[in-house]
Amino acid sequence: MRGSKTRLVIAVSLILVLCYVALPSMVDLDQETRAFLEESGDILIEPQPLFAPSDTSEDYVDSRQSITHGTDTNPPPSGMGELSGYTSLEEESYPNPTWTRLLTQTTFTSRPSGWTDDGISYAGGYFVETSSITGYIYCTAVDTSGCDQVRFSLGFQGTWETSSVSVWFWDSSSWVLIDYVDESPTYGDQSFSNSSSIFKHSGFRVKVQYDDFDSTLDFQADNWRIDRLDTETDYRFEAVYKFTGVAFSEYASEELYIDFASGSSTDTLEFRVGAGDTTPDNLVTPSPKNTDFHVDIHPYLTGSEFYVDIRDTWRSGDSTQSEWRIERLYIRLSESNPVSDAAPVTSGLVDGTHILAEYDYVTTSVYVSDPGGYADITQVILSVYDQSQSTQQFSLVYAEDGNVFAEGNSSELVILDAGGSSATKAGNDIDLEFRYAVEFLCPRVENAQLRVQVFDSSGETNPVSFYSSGFHIESRLALDSLNIDDGLGTPNRGDIDSTLQISGALTYYGLSSHYPLSSSVDISVTCGNISGSPWAPSDYNQADGTFSVSVPSDSTVGRDYYSLSVICDGLERLHTGYS
């Protein structure tokens, strides 16, 4: 471990003893004198140095543990193990064989277009033999030019005793026998491969043929597939690097830092970590990286030997050799960073899974701490993001100084109940409860992601922490039913100059037993060529979402269109139009 810092603290406790004569050392005292001094109760404690960790420590990578693919130049302890220079990571080439599907015919209800057959029937999705002694079927042409190998697969079932069912490949001028199908009374898949150059051309076909059959023999087959194998040159990199002597149990904050040097590839890398595991598999990068970043490794730093696996993200199809330049790879240990201690927990969800717009309040509990005590925390921000963690929907803010809860970004999308929110403070910890609802202006969010940010008085913050919330936000509405009645029993016409009754039931989209509040929705029916439009119901029932509205019919004969809309916060919230 290099670059670490320690802080020397000397604790001294002194007892002043006034004597008129100089005392000899305890080593030279006789037994009687020693007993007298011990009975006097006066104890002399010699100063002892006490060592405590510094506020921060940076532990640089010590060595390369192993390299599986590629090469590294200037490996640690040089390069990324020091404050100057960099380690170059370069991919190696390797042959990457890849099978590509050229043709698939899963079922056979009849002869496929472009195919040829003789003595073949079709039944139950299979092609089968007829009463003929011999028969065959072959497919349309596919291009196998330049491939390494061709493969034909088929699902077979049948009994043919001493007769035969065979597979033939077209060599561009004639059929060549490849092999015989194994007889099997039960259905199974069989494959036939060949790498001869005579089968690598643009007019490749496969034929299945039966011979010497009679009425007592049968077979059936389906799932006809032709594949080609091509070997391309791709590139890959993977190596494991080792930290030793890490002070894994002495600091509150433990983060892995990676700094890239200029000239590094724009392709991305993945980082996996583990303590005491030379082949770590804990992926700590939520998305592949090619620029500077740091990440919390506290859950994984459980021992003094720590390993980091670095590998390229894309291998199959990576036809360009890449080089990455890592300037520094180190673990930053800190006593001062505030942390998010646990995943937030949300209660009050509808059906345990949803927040419905302007329906009811939910409470999200957040747990944070700071090694310097809770008073060092200045601010906590709870943000709601979309599933990709790329778009923030809204945020809620807590300020420790003043114990204040407030809406943050996009406050028009959220309703914070500041009075119903709370903070419990003790020692290093603050446990927060944010009580809030969402507006209809808030877009629908599938599998919302929560981010917790904690700031302290030193300007430190916690590593990026995203958590899956386990809930969805729904702000769309739907009609559970919609009816129009002219009082005469006719479904699509009515009298002129009369009254029509339009009724229905309104629900949240996808949740048919939950209904929006009457204070949140504005229902109306419009018709462009009848005066008095729009018309609104006066009896919307938020207990079951039902409503009805009386509208006049036209004074002249003709077709009229009545459109229903539901407006919430100035937006149409029906998931589809109704007219």
Domain termination site, one of 437, 454, 474: 474
User: Do 350 and 329 lie in a common domain?
Assistant: no
Instruction: Tell me the C-alpha distance between 566 and 572, whole Å.
Output: 6
List Cβ neighbours of 260 (8 Å cut-off, separation of 6 or more): 290, 291, 292, 324, 325, 326, 327
**466, 450 in Cβ contact below 8 A?**
yes
Sign of CA dihedral 491, 496, 501, 502: positive
Amino acid at 342: A
Residues in the chain: 579
Residue 1 lies in a domain: no
Structure tokens, 327? 């300037």
Domain termination site, one of 276, 302, 334: 334
| E strand map for 514-573 | 522-526, 546-552, 563-568, 571-572
* Nearest Cα to Cα of residue 58 among 20, 114, 2, 128: 2
**390, 377 in Cβ contact below 8 A?**
no
User: Do 181 and 104 lie in a common domain?
Assistant: yes
Residue 19 lies in a domain: yes
Structure tokens, 130? 């007829």
User: Do 351 and 387 lie in a common domain?
Assistant: yes
Residue 579 lies in a domain: no
User: Do 350 and 454 lie in a common domain?
Assistant: yes
73-81: which pairs have CB atoms within 8 A and are 24 or more residues apart? 75/241, 76/241, 76/329, 77/2, 79/326, 80/326, 80/327, 80/328, 80/329, 81/2, 81/329
User: Do 303 and 383 lie in a common domain?
Assistant: no
Instruction: Tell me the C-alpha distance between 301 and 178, whole Å.
Output: 58
User: Do 190 and 258 lie in a common domain?
Assistant: no
User: Do 348 and 409 lie in a common domain?
Assistant: yes
Q: Which uninterrupted H or E stretch holds 325?
A: strand 323-334
Structure tokens, 193? 């491969």
Residue 161 lies in a domain: yes
Q: Where does residue 539 rank: exposed (0-12), middle (13-18), buried (19+ CB within 10 A)?
A: exposed
* pLDDT tens-place values along the chain, 579 residues long: 334 333 323 232 333 333 333 333 333 434 443 443 344 443 332 333 333 334 567 899 999 999 999 999 999 999 999 767 899 999 999 998 999 999 999 999 999 999 999 999 999 999 999 878 999 999 999 999 999 999 999 999 998 888 999 999 999 999 999 999 998 889 999 999 999 999 999 999 999 999 999 888 889 999 999 999 999 999 999 999 999 999 987 787 789 999 999 999 999 999 999 999 999 999 998 677 888 999 989 999 999 999 999 999 887 778 889 999 999 999 998 766 788 999 999 999 999 999 999 999 999 999 999 888 899 999 999 999 999 999 999 999 999 999 999 999 999 999 999 999 999 999 999 999 999 999 999 999 999 999 999 999 878 888 787 999 999 999 999 998 888 888 777 766 677 888 888 899 999 999 999 999 999 999 999 988 888 889 998 889 999 999 999 999 888 888 888 888 899 888 888 866 665
- How many domains would you assign to the chain? 5
* 52-68 as b/e: b if 16+ CB within 10 A: ebebbbbbbbbebbebe
Q: List the beta bridge partners of residue 432.
A: 366, 423
Domain termination site, one of 295, 313, 334: 334
> Left (φ > 0), alpha (ψ -120 to 50) or beta: where does 483 sit?
beta
Chain centroid to Cα 459, Å, comes to 30
Residue 578 lies in a domain: no
User: Do 20 and 71 lie in a common domain?
Assistant: no
Give the model's pLDDT for residue 511.
93
Residue 577 lies in a domain: no
**377, 461 in Cβ contact below 8 A?**
no
Domain that holds residue 13: 6-54
Residue 197 lies in a domain: yes
User: Do 373 and 425 lie in a common domain?
Assistant: yes
User: Do 200 and 316 lie in a common domain?
Assistant: no
| Domain CATH code at residue 363 | 2.60.40.10
* Nearest Cα to Cα of residue 165 among 140, 174, 173, 155: 155
User: Do 225 and 119 lie in a common domain?
Assistant: yes
User: Do 555 and 501 lie in a common domain?
Assistant: yes
Residue 436 lies in a domain: yes
Structure tokens, 563? 């459109």
Q: List the beta bridge partners of residue 168.
A: 177, 207
| Domain CATH code at residue 206 | 2.60.120.260
